[in-house]
Structure 1
Amino acid sequence: MPIASLSVRPLVLVVALSALVSGGCSLSARSGRGDITGSVRTGPYSEQAARSEIEGLASRYRSSPTDTGNAIRYARALRATGQSAQAVAVLERTAIREPGNPVLMGEFGRALADVGRHDQALQVLGRAHRADQPDWRIVNVQASIYDQMGRPQEAQALYTDALKIAPGEPSILSNLGLSYALSRQLPQAEQALRQAAAHPQADKRVRQNLALVVGLQGRFAEAEEIARKDLPPAEAEQNVAYLRSMVTQQNSWAQIRQSERRGQAQRPAGQTPVAAPSAPRS
């Protein structure tokens, strides 16, 4: 990581998946504003809104397949409704016709990341980014893809580059925090997530990721206090109780990875977990 409600079992998925894409994320341990701008995406597109528009967009796409703007909107609606493979097909066809359109290529790169075509996504996103007009949102998504590929050092270097463009941006900081958590650098993860959570535009997903990282360090009372800011007391207590049981076991990190894999296998194709990362995150 676009976790809406941080229930017990999905809790362990936040570290590995919540916006580290996009991706999503939107990457995002996202601030809720979308991990990508107009260069890739204009912002969050709710499933409800997408479903209300998708039929009309599909009809226009069939009648006017060369309308790039409509193709982009149609692809966004497809992704928002879990149809990322179809979104890739729409954007791939459009990109053949307009390979120099940075907005289109950014959208295409995000869709490719959704379906796990990471190397191709990085190539396409590279064509969407201009050195003379740096876009932190694209760099943020590129970093989240490296995290998904298991290359955290490269991801963290890119998050740092993105922060140079947009200092203090909570979606970048949140993705960076989750990247540190994935590489078991929990103090660094906490520092980045605290910075993100302190931002006035940060939402509850960032705070819940902070609660997770604090809890993974064994500070359960503090983690529950953070979680209670957004969750009902019983749910916050349940989450922290589960964290406590995980952390007290020697193989807790192995359990996180195993839970991550189970979560990926159980999600419908192209659908990212409801989460704040991210992004990083898309």
Structure 2
Amino acid sequence: MRLPLRLAGVALLGLLASACQSRSPETTGSIGGFSLKNFGRAPDRNVVSLGDVDALGQKYNADQNDVGLALRYAQALRATNQKPQAVAVLQQTALRNPKNSAVLAAYGKVLGEVGRFTEAAEVLQNAHTPARPDWRVLSAQGAVADQMGDHARAQGFYEAALKIQPNDPTVLSNLGLSFALAKQLDQAEAVMRVAVAQPRADARVRQNLALVLGLRGKIAEAEEVTRGDLSPEDAAANAASLRAMSAPVRQPRAAKYPGRSPAGEFPPG
């Protein structure tokens, strides 16, 4: 069964792009620009109101040299989808504190969230040192590398993160999605199954497994995974989307190239 690479790629890249949205780009997140509802999305236990953001903004404007306050304000802006404003806050904070690893990590992650991947990669590279690597930053670097299409490099970052934080479900989930983007679906499924088996695996990790299962054509199992975390309405919508994803793709010219997958498709999985 063949799945269109462009469609699946949009879904998976959306996961990695949104990995930066729910918490930070070292963790998996929801799909952007695709019709699957709530894939990779965990319940938000840290809801931030606009009133909270305004209060933090007033405190920040009164004292922009308070690094902790700037980080909290930027996080609140991110949580309320005001990412360009978060970039501006963290840019100024990074200029004032060019060697503060926490500031650089937060700044690099938010740059990734807004699609400034080259800048994000440069900033994240300076957010830790080879002597004292930060597994969260390594995973964020992996997410950025995946967004830039360098999946082999991304997988190296995830594997380095796992050496520091073994069996972390969010890093494993990102690694599995990276394998899927690289069209290595056997490895993607195997890694995702390890991820969901971890005690701290949450709804996002399970939904990412469901997506990979859908790409493999294992629709019934994918549907079963989605039901545990979603409302009946969202589960039904996801099931329909998964079935649509796994429908055979017609390629009238494929017969001209026997034994070769048409460009833009996954080979049989």
Aligned to 2:105: 106
- Distance in 2 separating the partners of 1:235 and 1:78: 27
**For each residue in 1:119-173, what CA deviation from the matched residue of structure 2 results, as whole angstroms up to 9, or x when unmatched?**
1111111111122222110000000001111111111111111111111010100
1:93 to 1:254, Cα distance in 2 relative to 1, 3 A: same
Aligned to 1:60: 59
1:72 to 1:160, Cα distance in 2 relative to 1, 3 A: same
1:230 to 1:12, Cα distance in 2 relative to 1, 3 A: farther
Aligned to 2:225: 226
- Distance in 2 separating the partners of 1:235 and 1:85: 30
1:78 to 1:251, Cα distance in 2 relative to 1, 3 A: farther
Give the counterpart letter for 2:12 in structure 1. V
- Distance in 1 separating the partners of 2:231 and 2:83: 33
Any conservation in 2 of the 1:91–1:104 contact (CA below 8 Å)?
Answer: yes
Q: How many residues align?
A: 234
Any conservation in 2 of the 1:21–1:144 contact (CA below 8 Å)?
Answer: no
Aligned to 1:23: 20
Aligned to 1:214: 213
- Distance in 1 separating the partners of 2:9 and 2:204: 13
- Distance in 2 separating the partners of 1:207 and 1:59: 39
Give the counterpart letter for 2:14 in structure 1. L
Q: How many angstroms does 1:74 deviate by?
A: 0.9
Q: How many angstroms does 1:80 deviate by?
A: 1.2
Q: Equivalent residue of 1:128, what SS?
A: coil
**For each residue in 1:29-65, what CA deviation from the matched residue of structure 2 results, as whole angstroms up to 9, or x when unmatched?**
36xxxxxxxxxxxxx9867325342112111111111
Any conservation in 2 of the 1:23–1:114 contact (CA below 8 Å)?
Answer: yes
Aligned to 1:242: 241
Compare relative contact order (CA 8 Å, sep 6+) and give the higher one, 1 or 2: 1
Q: What residue ranges of structure 1 are gaps of 5+ in the alignment?
A: 1-10, 31-43, 257-282
- Distance in 1 separating the partners of 2:174 and 2:112: 16
TM-score under structure 2 length normalisation? 0.77
Any conservation in 2 of the 1:143–1:155 contact (CA below 8 Å)?
Answer: yes
Aligned to 2:195: 196
Give the counterpart letter for 2:20 in structure 1. G
Whether 1:128 aligns to 2:108 is no
Matches within 5 A, 1:1-282: 14-20=11-17, 22-24=19-21, 26-27=24-25, 28-29=27-28, 48-232=47-231, 235-250=234-249
Any conservation in 2 of the 1:45–1:76 contact (CA below 8 Å)?
Answer: no
**For each residue in 1:180-219, what CA deviation from the matched residue of structure 2 results, as whole angstroms up to 9, or x when unmatched?**
1112211111111111101111112211111121122122
**For each residue in 1:224-271, what CA deviation from the matched residue of structure 2 results, as whole angstroms up to 9, or x when unmatched?**
222222234564354233322322222699699xxxxxxxxxxxxxxx
Q: Larger Cα Rg: Structure 1 or Structure 2?
A: 2
Any conservation in 2 of the 1:144–1:175 contact (CA below 8 Å)?
Answer: yes
Q: How many angstroms does 1:70 deviate by?
A: 1.0
- Distance in 2 separating the partners of 1:245 and 1:126: 40
Aligned to 1:270: none
> What RMSD, in angstroms, separates the aligned Cα atoms of the two structures?
2.8
Any conservation in 2 of the 1:136–1:165 contact (CA below 8 Å)?
Answer: yes
